[in-house]
Amino acid sequence: MPGTKKRAPAYRRHKASGQAVVRIDERVFYLGPWGSPESRAEYDRLIAEWRHAGRKLPPAPGQAISVAELLVAFLRHAKVHYVRDGKPTGEYRAFVIALRPVKRLYAEHAVDAFGPLALKTVRAEMIAADYVRRSINNQVGRIRRVFKWGVENELVEPTVLQRLQAVAGLRAGHPGVKESKRVLPVPDADVDAVLADVPTPVAAMIRLQLLTGMRPGEVVQMRMRDIERDGDVWTFRPARHKTAYRGHDRAIHIGPKAQEVLRPFLRPNADAFLFSPRDAVRERIKRDAKARTTPRYPSHMKRNAKKRKRSPKRKPRDFYETTSYARAIARACERLGVTHWHPHQLRHNAATRMRKEFGLDATRAVLGHTTPIVTEIYAELDNEKAREIMRETG
């Protein structure tokens, strides 16, 4: 089977001139006298640039590439750069979505001709597609990052990026642009209703989020090997977390109440996930069997055994994804007629309660935020406290 990577262009001798030569991307480079150290050094430099640029040389001075070529080169880089556990992350998928209108409108245009008006036209497409303002600004920022990467790799002239940076972000109240809804804590009654309806592993994850303030992506990945159970307060250090790429440590402390929630799920296998959809499936099967009203006739059991697939295409996984965890809650909300809520809102519930009882700095430490400003986003202001102060002083 032929290799998938292009082989390095060969160092060759040009008979007519006696010079060393190499042909890269249909461009011929004369390197100096054939066999000389200088020609070898120049060859090594060109091949190093070629490899570093994804086995393709940057354009020659004054030769502008197309927008499509820039997008292809960047996404090839992003697919390798934005990776976690061997798979592209959500940031890579966000870039793919952000670049779709750019590709549709300007693929064949020269990259040097892509200016502020072009960027604003792409933004108008996002507005027409009913994106919320915050998402539009984020996606425009990603487009700028593509051109910044192009400047870094000598695919784009710096002046192109400078012009794009002149486009200001959309401000609140911009005509025709929707605002995103503010994320609020879930009403306690809605949480209690869902807790009584979801499978036991999902209910345990909900309770842990309420008690510790951890993120959905942290609670779903809990394993024995990541939990230090020394002392009266345990410590959970997620293998993956939101700010790991910045070199930040994340320690989630688990008190006595949260420990009681965890105990039924502790496993002898240190690598096993504590919360598994397989447990939820077994629980449902047992519940359905217990609720059965007709006898288990041998003929029925024999027929069901024949119908059962030996190797079904869809099998319960060993762990919950954040999407499957959220889907379990959404389905419970739909069954109960409760207003839909997302597990990330539970972090707001925990932050609001902690801030009310222990203050902003303590809440920041528990949530793992580096600045109190971020904590302000999660913790709703205690209006009752404000009313009490004004009752005395106002």
Q: Which helix (H) or strand (E) holds 278?
A: helix 277-290
pLDDT, tens digit, for every residue of 173-221? 898 899 988 878 899 999 999 999 999 999 999 999 998 888 898 999 9
d(C-alpha 317, C-alpha 273), whole Å: 10
pLDDT, tens digit, for every residue of 25-34? 777 788 889 8
In which residue ranges of the chain is CATH 1.10.150 found? 67-164
Long-range CB pairs of 288-291 (<8 Å, 24+ gap) are none
Confidence of residue 149 (pLDDT cuts 50, 70, 90): very high
Q: What is the CATH number of domain 67-164?
A: 1.10.150
* Model-wide pTM > 0.85: no
Confidence of residue 114 (pLDDT cuts 50, 70, 90): very high
Sheet harboring 234-236: ordered strands across? 227-228, 234-236, 252-254
Confidence of residue 233 (pLDDT cuts 50, 70, 90): confident
d(C-alpha 386, C-alpha 11), whole Å: 77
**What's the mean pLDDT in 307-316?**
69
CATH superfamily, domain 188-287+317-378, is: Intergrase catalytic core (1.10.443.10)
In which residue ranges of the chain is CATH 1.10.443.10 found? 188-287+317-378
pLDDT of residue 88: 84
Question: Is the pLDDT reported for residue 382 higher than 60?
Answer: no
- Mean residue pLDDT of the chain comes to 83
The token pair at 312 is 């079904």
